[in-house]
Structure 1
Amino acid sequence: MKNNRVLSFLFFLLLVFTLTAQEDSLMVETPVNQDTISEEKDYKPYNALAPAKAAFYSAILPGLGQAYNGRYWKIPLVYAGIGTGVYFYINNNKEWNRYRDAYKDRLAGRKDEFTVNGDQRITDDGLIRAQEFYRRNKEISILVTAGFYVLNIIDANVDAHLQQFNVSEDLTLQPNMELDNYTGKSRYGLSLNYRF
């Protein structure tokens, strides 16, 4: 008995959706307005090579792909990211060489910069740890620089793709509320409209 009610309810819903769909298909579409056609004159034809060109330009010279896309405000961000990675690499490399040279001098029995009046301010283990620390930071700096370089190429490519994406009013998603004439109750819904 319960299954019959469920089946009857499902059949009723299917019938209502079918009638609603037929009612929507019987509606007359309005003709295309000439003003709409004249507004779309700004539309540029799709250039399939634009993303590849932008990525190639950014690979040759970071920021050139952003200039090709007309996104000039991104160029300082690209150079700031790459420049920061290069700065930290140079700084960490200088410190790594400093501690390495001090460790080599100490192994050779010479006086190093961390030995003052025979007192060692940093132990041998401290020099080894400092070398490892700055070597690890050098490697991280290389990865950050390479990451910003690759991100620059990806950004130029994606931006060139998105510039050619046609955003029109033909695709709309809007809430809908109708008053049912038979019951006097309101019906709520969500409609997705796509015009060809």
Structure 2
Amino acid sequence: MKSNPYFFLFFFLFFLSVASAQQDSLLVTPEEKSKRELKRDQKEKEYEPYNALAPAKAAFYSAVLPGLGQAYNGSYWKIPIAYAGIGTGVYFYLENDKQYDRYRNAYKDRLAGRIDEFTVNGDQKISTARLIDAQEFYQKNKEISILVTVGVYILNIIDANVEAHLRQFNVDEDLSVKPNLDFDSLSGKTNYGLTLNYNF
């Protein structure tokens, strides 16, 4: 089996870079350490303190009045979207309800032997079966409109809750992944292998 020289060159350079990075990290002067701590303190001050009740408050506010949770989170641009969704659902419910009542009244008039709005000069423009079908159609559309309105209302609450959670999520630049060799602290010897440390 032939050995690939590029393979050994790659691992040699990789271990060389890891070793030099470790030596550099051990040579931190007290001034550099204090500068790093000062930078970290300044970045921590930029973030709002963690508030465990913020998501619950935002969800509660949105449940009481749609859009209020978004205002609590500072996302004012989402308020018109919430009201447009809820308003659209309510509008279509009212329109379908009006049409349902129209066909329902015509059907009742026809059963009672009175002249309905779809009968002109004794001639029926729409048959009784079509009146029943129209009632079923608009009844179904009314139910869909209610579901859409309730769905947008629930999405409004979920959005406020999730955004309140994400606003407190730390997205600092110090989040990093660094390769590191593993040393045995008892014997002082290097163990074979490689570890990845996630520093948050």
Alpha-carbon offset, residue 193 of structure 1 = 9.6
Does structure 1 residue 96 correspond to structure 2 residue 100?
yes
Alpha-carbon offset, residue 22 of structure 1 = 3.3
Query: Please, which of 126, 129, 132 is the counterpart of residue 125 of structure 1?
Result: 129
Q: Structure 1-normalised TM-score?
A: 0.76
Q: Structure 2-normalised TM-score?
A: 0.74
3-state SS in 2 of match to 1:26: helix
Query: Please, which of 16, 20, 23 is the counterpart of residue 23 of structure 1?
Result: 20
3-state SS in 2 of match to 1:152: helix
Does structure 1 residue 40 correspond to structure 2 residue 44?
yes
Contact residue 51 and residue 158 of structure 1 kept, 8 A: yes
3-state SS in 2 of match to 1:113: coil
Deviation larger for 92-101 or 8-17: 8-17
Superposed CA RMSD in Å reads 2.7
**2:192 aligned partner:** none
Contact residue 170 and residue 194 of structure 1 kept, 8 A: no
Q: Give per-residue Cα distances to partners, 1:108-165, cap 9 Å, x unaligned.
A: 2221110011111111222122112111111110111011000100010011111111
Contact residue 109 and residue 115 of structure 2 kept, 8 A: yes
Contact residue 66 and residue 156 of structure 1 kept, 8 A: yes
Structure with the larger strand share: 1
Does structure 1 residue 53 correspond to structure 2 residue 57?
yes
Q: Give the Cα separation in 2 of the matches to 1:21 and 1:155.
A: 44
Amino acid at match of 2:171: V
Amino acid at match of 2:81: L
**1:86 aligned partner:** 90
Contact residue 109 and residue 116 of structure 2 kept, 8 A: yes
**2:141 aligned partner:** 137
Unaligned runs of 5+ in 2: 178-195
Query: Please, which of 154, 160, 181 is the counterpart of residue 156 of structure 1?
Result: 160
C-alpha change, 1:32 and 1:104, in structure 2 (3 Å) is farther
**1:186 aligned partner:** none
Q: Give the Cα separation in 2 of the matches to 1:71 and 1:19.
A: 49
Q: Give the Cα separation in 1 of the matches to 2:43 and 2:174.
A: 13
Deviation larger for 72-81 or 52-61: 72-81
Q: Give the Cα separation in 1 of the matches to 2:34 and 2:83.
A: 48
Contact residue 170 and residue 193 of structure 1 kept, 8 A: no
